[in-house]
Chain A
Amino acid sequence: MSYDEEKLGELLRMLSPAPEAWVRAAQELPTARAALDDLVARAEADAELRRRILDDLEAVLAAEGLEPGSALLAELRDRLTG
């Protein structure tokens, strides 16, 4: 395939960077996942903690120093209610 300067420029423009915060959050997924796994294990052994988490998921996570994205939050809710 042949490329002129205009076409190359057009293709380079198509892949602009994603917002830095999004990239950072995605890179931290393994850490967040491990922390949530730990939290779920504790909640399974502690009914009061499980109730508090389900009452106000985001507040409990913030208190734990966690700021997971919506996908992990939804997964956590499913795991605790499933």
Chain B
Amino acid sequence: MSRDEELVERCLAGERDAWDDLVLAYSRYVYAICSQGYRLQGADAEDAFQDVFLRVYDRLGTLRDPAALRPWIAQLTRRVCLDRLAAGKREEPLELEDTGIDSTIEELDEAFAVREALTELSAECQEVLDRFFGRDESYRTIGEELGIPSGTIASRISRCLARLRERLTAGDATAGRNEGGSPSGEVGT
């Protein structure tokens, strides 16, 4: 059973921690689609973000294929963002839909797969890579926060990236691993 299938099963069984886990697992992805894909900012981005998770919470039981959780959430997020843009009477949505959104979401899907592979590395590697790349922290800040010499951060990052690359390559070798299905797994959105 994939992580997503397990998450959905636990949520539908009413496990309170499961919902927290689902939000944590997808918060960056939803945020990225809203802010990078549709360029929503400030209150618009926040409202869209909350609306997406409200819809996920309300409609999770209609998801036929729990393995398709990621594309289903992507589709919900796109719909929420387009609704919000339309409500604001902006002119960008159709243009964005036609030109850039699909490729942006493809890249975000790839980024999501990389982050999933990251969770399989040591806690130290996860921490260092997330601080440096995800949170844009400097070597000095990372060194101070983790209590390690800042002069060693670059080599740690390089070593962890090599491990991440190995993990991704190993994942490719076992083809078919959690492709994520299609959003057609839903009953209704």
Residues of A whose CB lies within 8 Å of any CB of B are 1-3, 5, 8-9, 11-19, 22-23, 25-27, 29-30, 33, 69-72, 75
Q: When the two chains form their complex, are residues B50 and A22 in contact, meaning their CB atoms are under 8 A apart? A: yes
Having A1-B110, A14-B107, A72-B50, one finds 15 other A-B pairs with CB under 8 Å, namely A9-B133, A11-B107, A11-B114, A12-B130, A13-B136, A14-B32, A16-B136, A18-B30, A19-B46, A22-B46, A26-B23, A27-B20, A30-B16, A69-B51, A69-B54
A71 to B36, CA, bound (A): 21
28 A-B pairs with CB atoms under 8 Å apart are: A1-B168, A1-B172, A5-B165, A8-B165, A11-B114, A12-B114, A12-B115, A12-B129, A15-B108, A15-B115, A16-B136, A18-B30, A18-B49, A22-B27, A22-B31, A22-B50, A26-B49, A27-B19, A27-B24, A29-B50, A29-B53, A29-B57, A69-B47, A69-B50, A69-B51, A71-B54, A72-B50, A75-B54
B158 interface residue, CB < 8 Å from A? yes
Shortest beta-carbon distance from B5 to chain A in Å: 20
Shortest beta-carbon distance from A7 to chain B in Å: 9
Q: Residues of A contacting B165 with CB < 8 Å?
A: 3, 5, 8
Q: When the two chains form their complex, are residues A69 and B46 in contact, meaning their CB atoms are under 8 A apart? A: yes
Contact A8 to B27, CB < 8 A, known contacts A13-B133, A69-B47: no
A59 to B23, CA, bound (A): 28
A72 to B57, CA, bound (A): 12
Q: Residues of B contacting A12 with CB < 8 Å?
A: 111, 114-115, 118, 129-130, 133-134
Contact A16 to B134, CB < 8 A, known contacts A26-B23, A26-B49: yes
Closest chain B residue, CB of each to CB of A8: B161
Q: Residues of A contacting B24 with CB < 8 Å?
A: 23, 27
